[in-house]
């Protein structure tokens, strides 16, 4: 059976680890350079996120911390190898990883949103339930205090006889 190639442009995710020898403000031009590389290859960026400075699981080239940068983009396959080579030759980027990612449809996004709404509603209900339980505990304590005061009155009255 022959495979039919899709005319759709593949969707990729790029995670870059930028060296710790730069400050947060010095990483801005590096991130701009990464997006420029993608755009120069004919790619379109659909999502980007700066994760900031994080500790590495193990030292890489003597660095224990690094700046993480995530980019999702659409790019044709032959251009991907060129992008990969340029990122590999960059001195500012310690590591990078490009992964082909499934592009979410509108239905999948709507389903994720409904699941997130259900989770938020469940958390809100749990918080309301916890608050109600807390109020009941405080009411019981007030009852115990009134019972104690009544017992004290009875004990004092019994001693008088």
- Spatial separation of the C-alpha atoms in residues 101 and 72, rounded to whole Å: 9
Ranges of residues in the chain whose predicted pLDDT is under 50: 1
- Spatial separation of the C-alpha atoms in residues 124 and 111, rounded to whole Å: 20
**Structural domain boundaries of the chain?**
11-100
HSE of 124 in the Cβ direction (CA atoms, 13 Å)?
6
Output the six-digit token pair for 98.
């490009």
Q: What is the pLDDT of residue 161?
A: 54
Q: What is the pLDDT of residue 16?
A: 92
For 99, the enclosing helix (H) or strand (E) is strand 93-100
Q: Strands of 26-87 (E only): list them.
A: 44-60, 63-74
CA-CA-CA-CA dihedral for 88, 89, 94, 95, to nearest 10: 0
Q: What is the pLDDT of residue 1?
A: 45
- Spatial separation of the C-alpha atoms in residues 48 and 66, rounded to whole Å: 17
The CATH number fitting domain 11-100, selected from 3.20.20.70, 3.30.465.10, 3.40.1110.10, 3.30.70.60: 3.30.70.60
């Amino acid at each position: 059976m022959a495979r039919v190639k899709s005319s759709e442009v593949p969707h990729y995710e790029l995670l870059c680890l930028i060296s710790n020898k730069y400050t947060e403000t010095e990483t801005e031009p590096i991130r701009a350079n990464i997006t420029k590389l993608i755009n120069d290859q004919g790619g379109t960026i659909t999502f980007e996120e700066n994760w900031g400075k994080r500790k590495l699981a193990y030292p890489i080239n003597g660095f224990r911390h690094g700046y993480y940068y995530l980019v999702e983009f659409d790019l044709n396959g032959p251009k991907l190898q060129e992008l990969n080579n340029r990122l590999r030759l960059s001195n500012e980027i310690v590591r990078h990883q490009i992964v082909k990612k499934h592009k979410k449809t509108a239905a999948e996004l709507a389903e994720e949103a409904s699941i997130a709404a259900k989770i938020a509603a469940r958390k809100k209900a749990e918080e309301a339930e916890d608050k109600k339980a807390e109020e009941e505990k405080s009411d019981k304590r007030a009852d115990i205090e009134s019972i104690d005061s009544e017992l004290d009155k009875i004990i004092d009255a019994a001693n008088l006889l």
